[in-house]
């Protein structure tokens, strides 16, 4: 066991000592998760409205207050910036208030608000919320006008309306989005989805590119020297496999912990999330064994590792969520370990899944790991024979 | 004095397809003895070492290390061997100390013993002050010394050095040779392969001359030289009547053979130094004006040439 651990520890140490890994293993993944989360991340289902124009006017003030009261996230921006936010999906609905609108509202006249919606499916639902809020403002304004025209003072009318509002149970509009995709991502924070995707992408990628150290060790004659010592061939193989697993675990653990601390990513049940990560690391390690044994050139192996890692990540839903895939692509994606791990994380993160829920995914990942490990061990033994 | 046998090799054969790389090789090494395998590149030296180290199996024949049969499956027995491979089998991204500790752990060393032994070896190979540096920053000679140090770490009964001075500067080479000499005096059995004749002559108690997978001859340096008939060569350079000089020298007792042309003569003689004065006198008397005279005593190069008909560097 000491030999196995010794070999594994050196493999991980070499991986950590490689300066090029500082950026690609520790900085780049978090940057990517931050970028993807801020640009495309879901916002826990909260409606986002951007108000443009009417700054300081009564209309803008009451509308903003009503929207906030209705649970809508409100921001202000200039017209151009508001349109930009809508086009980039950072806001669901934009309300553009002109000077005429403000003046009409102030004088109790009807105001025609310009409203724009973003292209995402959730925007239509948010538009309904905005309509309800505008309706509430409009009703209150009309009631105020009627009371005032009936001879009630402005302050008394406002107080009376406030008391009336507090004394009755406000009808609440609950919007149920029937869009499948929206429902699938329900419960995810801004960075949650991207973190899971990038975790899988980088764990696999780092493992495959880490196979280069194995080739280098073989080429330098270090593995032959190890086997000339009192180390059985199975121990040398196990040490290499454990080393690859260690590399994957370092990468995965770092992303998991880093995103939880920095971006508040909710990984769900930590034990189950850790279990999924461990199984996925095992598949990644075994795949790295295969690459490291098949190839004799460490630079070429790094290139193949990056290429293969990206293709499998793309197919497995680590770039575009697989929920958007066609049926055919959905089927193809299940060939990749990424997809099974993605599904397992989806259960844990979005639906508070239990061990029983993710057992099928863990089973498939375990089978993949075993098959690849057997193949990798066979190939490594053969490549060692060649090297000796 | 009879030395305890550390390594015994009998009838070793290794074939790759139709090509026989090692052909019926037998030898033994005792404790404190340095045994050399001298032969050109491709002679089969490294294949013999790989079989002795248990890295590859022999097709036929037997290997005994410390009294037990060695095969690739003899994991525990391998701890009796310290292998110093021809290539620099060290991790360039680890420090000298980390390399030693890694291989030390694999050899079963741990804790204080590992720490102490690492320090001792670093002193021995002269790298104590560079112990914390990554080996990729080392010179070729320093890497070679570390390569040897790793082989010594666990105090093996048999140290196998496969061409340990290839690509090393003269100063480092001398340092390596001195270390090997010191190890043998401490009782370690050393199997040393080289294609440098001078190294084999300096270090080895017994030498096997190997070519095309076969041991052509084996013995001490003196015994091997005897195989050439123990003759010296005298080279006479000069001008004048070389023809008359050649005739006169052929009649001189002790001269076996005279060959040459207008610019000089080559004599094959018994006891060159003893015959030098009469040879010079005889050649001068016959009208040859000598510009230089050289005695060439037989060495392992001559032995190799005598046995195989080709130069060692081929």
Average pLDDT, chain A: 85
Quick check: A6 and B102 CB within 8 A?
yes
Contacts of A6 in chain B (CB under 8 A): 102, 105-106
Q: Model confidence at B279, in pLDDT bands (50, 70, 90)?
A: very high
By three-state DSSP, how is residue A190 classified?
A: coil
Q: Which domains does chain A have, with CATH numbers?
A: 2-41+186-387 (no CATH), 48-184 (3.40.190)
Contacts of A220 in chain B (CB under 8 A): 87-92
- The per-residue pLDDT for range A287-310, each reduced to its tens digit, is 998 988 888 888 888 888 899 999
Q: What is the rounded CA–CA span in Å between residue A321 and residue A308?
A: 19
**Does residue B312 carry a pLDDT above 70?**
no
Q: What is the rounded CA–CA span in Å between residue A177 and residue A175?
A: 6
User: In the predicted model, what is the mean pLDDT of residues A230-234?
Assistant: 87
By three-state DSSP, how is residue B18 classified?
A: coil
Share of chain B above pLDDT 90, in %: 46
Contacts of A227 in chain B (CB under 8 A): 55
Q: What is the rounded CA–CA span in Å between residue B43 and residue B307?
A: 14
Q: Write out the residues of chain A at the interface with chain B, using a CB-CB cutoff of 8 A.
A: 2-3, 6-7, 10, 13-14, 17-18, 217, 220-222, 224-233, 388
A315-319, A377-381, B61-65: least confidently modelled range: A377-381
Average pLDDT, chain B: 88
By three-state DSSP, how is residue B77 classified?
A: helix
pLDDT of residue A92: 85
User: In the predicted model, what is the mean pLDDT of residues A349-373?
Assistant: 93
Share of chain A above pLDDT 90, in %: 30
A144-148, A278-282, A286-290, B288-292: least confidently modelled range: A144-148
A25-39, A176-190, A205-219: least confidently modelled range: A176-190
Q: Of chain B residues 30-59, which have a CB less than 8 A from chain A?
A: 50, 53-56
Domain ranges of chain B: 5-226, 231-297
Select B231-297's CATH number: 3.60.20.40, 3.30.70.920, 3.40.50.80, 3.40.190.10: 3.30.70.920
Of residues A385 and B114, more confidently modeled: B114
Mutate to test the interface with A, among B70, B73, B75 (most CBs of A within 10 A): B75
What angle do helix axes A122-149 and A58-69 make, rounded to 10 degrees? Answer: 120
Q: Which fold has domain B5-226?
A: Rossmann fold (3.40.50)
**Does residue A86 carry a pLDDT above 80?**
yes
Q: How many residues in chain B?
A: 314
Q: In sequence order, what DSSP letters do the residues of A205-269 get, joined into one string? A: HHHHHHHHHHHHHHHHTHHHHHHHSS--HHHHHHHHHHHHHHHHHHHHHHHHHHHHHHH----SS
Distance from CA of A12 to the nearest CA of B (A): 12
Q: Model confidence at B227, in pLDDT bands (50, 70, 90)?
A: confident
Q: What is the rounded CA–CA span in Å between residue A183 and residue A165?
A: 33
User: In the predicted model, what is the mean pLDDT of residues A147-160?
Assistant: 82
- The per-residue pLDDT for range B156-167, each reduced to its tens digit, is 999 999 988 887
pLDDT of residue B51: 93
A294-301 long-range contacts, CB within 8 A, separation 24+: A294/A379, A294/A383, A295/A211, A295/A215, A296/A215, A296/A218, A296/A219, A296/A383, A297/A215, A298/A212, A298/A213, A298/A215, A298/A216, A298/A219, A299/A212, A301/A209, A301/A211, A301/A212, A301/A215
User: In the predicted model, what is the mean pLDDT of residues A134-143?
Assistant: 83
- The per-residue pLDDT for range B59-71, each reduced to its tens digit, is 999 999 988 999 8
Tokens of A248: 């994957």
Residues contacting residue A77 through CB under 8 Å, at least 6 positions apart:
A50, A51, A52, A85
pLDDT of residue A179: 57
Q: Model confidence at A3, in pLDDT bands (50, 70, 90)?
A: confident
Chain B residue with the nearest C-alpha to that of A7: B102
List the alpha helices (DSSP H) in B241-297. 242-250, 272-285
Quick check: A229 and B76 CB within 8 A?
no
Beta carbons within 10 angstroms of residue A56's beta carbon: 7
Of residues B227 and B59, more confidently modeled: B59
Which backbone phi and psi does B239 adopt, to 5 degrees? -135, -170
Of residues A275 and A165, more confidently modeled: A275
Tokens of B173: 């080479």
Chain A residue with the nearest C-alpha to that of B54: A228
Q: Which of A6, A17, A228 shows the shortest C-beta gap to B83?
A: A228
pLDDT of residue B2: 65
pLDDT of residue A387: 62
Q: Of chain B residues 103-142, which have a CB less than 8 A from chain A?
A: 103, 105-108, 110
Q: What's the sign of the alpha-carbon dihedral B61, B64, B67, B71?
A: negative
Q: Which of A17, A224, A230 shows the shortest C-beta gap to B75?
A: A230
**Does residue A128 carry a pLDDT above 90?**
no
User: In the predicted model, what is the mean pLDDT of residues B188-199?
Assistant: 89
Burial zone of B1 (CB within 10 Å; 0-12 exposed, 13-18 middle, 19+ buried): exposed
Report pTM: 0.72
Cβ atoms of B198 and B300 within 8 Å: the answer is no
Cβ atoms of B28 and B64 within 8 Å: the answer is no
Q: What is the rounded CA–CA span in Å between residue B218 and residue B210?
A: 9
Tokens of B220: 């001490």
Distance from CA of A382 to the nearest CA of B (A): 12
Chain A residue with the nearest C-alpha to that of B156: A229
Looking at residue B134, what DSSP letter applies?
B
Of residues B168 and B118, more confidently modeled: B118
**Does residue A104 carry a pLDDT above 80?**
yes
- The per-residue pLDDT for range B3-48, each reduced to its tens digit, is 788 999 999 999 998 899 999 999 999 998 999 998 888 889 999 9
Q: What is the rounded CA–CA span in Å between residue A305 and residue B278?
A: 77
Q: Model confidence at A18, in pLDDT bands (50, 70, 90)?
A: confident
The answer to whether B93 faces chain A, any CB pair under 8 Å, is: yes
Nearest to B41 by CA among B212, B287, B268: B212
Q: Model confidence at A178, in pLDDT bands (50, 70, 90)?
A: low
User: In the predicted model, what is the mean pLDDT of residues A37-43?
Assistant: 65
- The per-residue pLDDT for range A333-347, each reduced to its tens digit, is 999 999 999 999 999
Quick check: B103 and A225 CB within 8 A?
yes
- Residue that the structure tokens 């839903």 belong to: A317
Quick check: A10 and B93 CB within 8 A?
no
Cβ atoms of B28 and B8 within 8 Å: the answer is yes
């Amino acid at each position: 066991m000491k030999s196995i651990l010794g070999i594994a520890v050196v493999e991980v140490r070499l991986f950590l000592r490689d300066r090029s890994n500082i950026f690609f293993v520790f900085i780049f993944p978090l940057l990517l998760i931050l970028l993807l989360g801020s640009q495309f991340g879901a916002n826990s289902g909260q409606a986002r409205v951007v108000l443009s124009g009417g700054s300081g006017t009564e209309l803008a003030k009451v509308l903003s207050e009503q929207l906030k009261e209705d649970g809508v996230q409100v921001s202000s921006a200039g017209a151009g910036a508001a349109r930009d936010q809508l086009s980039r999906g950072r806001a669901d609905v934009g309300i553009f208030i002109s000077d005429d609108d403000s003046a009409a509202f102030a004088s109790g006249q009807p105001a025609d608000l310009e409203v724009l919606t973003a292209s995402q499916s959730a925007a239509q639902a948010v538009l309904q919320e905005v309509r309800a809020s505008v309706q509430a403002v409009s009703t209150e304004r009309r009631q105020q006008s009627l009371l005032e025209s009936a001879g009630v003072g402005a302050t008394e009318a406002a107080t009376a309306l406030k008391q009336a509002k507090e004394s009755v149970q406000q009808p609440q509009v609950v919007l149920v989005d029937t869009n499948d995709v929206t429902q699938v991502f329900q419960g995810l924070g801004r960075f949650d989805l991207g973190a899971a995707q990038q975790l899988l992408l980088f764990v696999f990628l780092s493992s495959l590119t880490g196979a280069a150290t194995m080739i280098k060790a073989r080429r330098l004659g270090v593995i032959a020297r190890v086997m000339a010592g009192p180390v059985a061939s199975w121990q040398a193989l196990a040490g290499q496999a454990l080393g690859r697993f260690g590399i994957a675990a370092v990468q995965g653990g770092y992303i998991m912990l880093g995103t939880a601390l920095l971006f508040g990513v909710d990984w769900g049940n930590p034990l189950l999330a850790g279990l999924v990560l461990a199984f996925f690391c095992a598949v990644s390690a075994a795949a790295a064994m295969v690459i490291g044994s098949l190839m004799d050139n460490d630079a070429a192996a790094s290139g193949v590792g990056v290429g293969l890692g990206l293709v499998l990540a793309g197919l497995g839903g680590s770039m575009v969520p697989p929920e958007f895939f066609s049926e055919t692509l959905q089927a193809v994606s299940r060939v990749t370990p990424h997809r099974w791990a993605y599904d397992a994380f989806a259960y844990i993160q979005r639906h508070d899944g239990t061990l029983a829920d993710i057992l099928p995914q863990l089973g498939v990942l375990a089978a993949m790991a075993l098959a690849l490990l057997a193949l990798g061990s066979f190939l490594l033994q053969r490549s060692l024979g060649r090297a000796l | 004095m009879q030395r305890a046998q550390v390594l015994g090799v009998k009838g070793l054969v290794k074939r790759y397809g139709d090509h026989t790389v090692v052909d019926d090789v037998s030898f033994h090494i005792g404790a404190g003895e340095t045994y050399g395998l001298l032969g050109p590149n491709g002679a089969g030296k490294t294949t013999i070492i790989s079989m002795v180290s248990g890295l590859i199996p022999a097709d036929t024949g037997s290997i005994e290390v410390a009294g037990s049969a060695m095969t690739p499956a003899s994991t525990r027995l391998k701890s009796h061997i310290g292998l110093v491979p021809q290539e620099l089998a060290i991790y360039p991204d680890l420090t000298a100390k980390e390399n030693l500790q890694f291989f030390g752990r694999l050899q079963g060393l741990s804790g204080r013993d590992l720490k102490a032994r690492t320090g001792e070896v670093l002193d021995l190979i002269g790298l104590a002050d560079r112990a914390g540096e990554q080996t990729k920053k080392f010179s070729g000679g320093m890497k070679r010394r570390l390569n040897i140090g790793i082989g010594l770490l666990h105090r093996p009964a048999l140290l196998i050095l496969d061409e340990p001075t290839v690509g090393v500067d003269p100063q480092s080479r001398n340092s390596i040779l001195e270390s090997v000499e010191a190890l043998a005096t401490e009782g370690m059995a050393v199997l040393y392969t080289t294609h440098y004749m001078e190294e084999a002559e300096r270090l080895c108690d017994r030498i096997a001359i190997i070519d095309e997978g076969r041991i052509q001859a084996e013995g001490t340096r003196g015994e091997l030289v005897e195989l050439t008939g123990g003759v010296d060569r005298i080279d006479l350079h000069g001008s004048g009547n070389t023809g008359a000089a050649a005739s006169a020298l052929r009649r001189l007792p002790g001269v076996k053979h005279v060959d040459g042309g207008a610019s000089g003569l080559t004599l094959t003689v018994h006891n060159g130094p003893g015959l030098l004065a009469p040879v010079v006198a005889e050649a001068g008397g016959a009208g040859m004006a000598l510009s230089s005279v050289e005695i060439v005593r037989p060495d392992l190069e001559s032995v190799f040439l005598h046995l195989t008909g080709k130069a060692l560097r081929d």
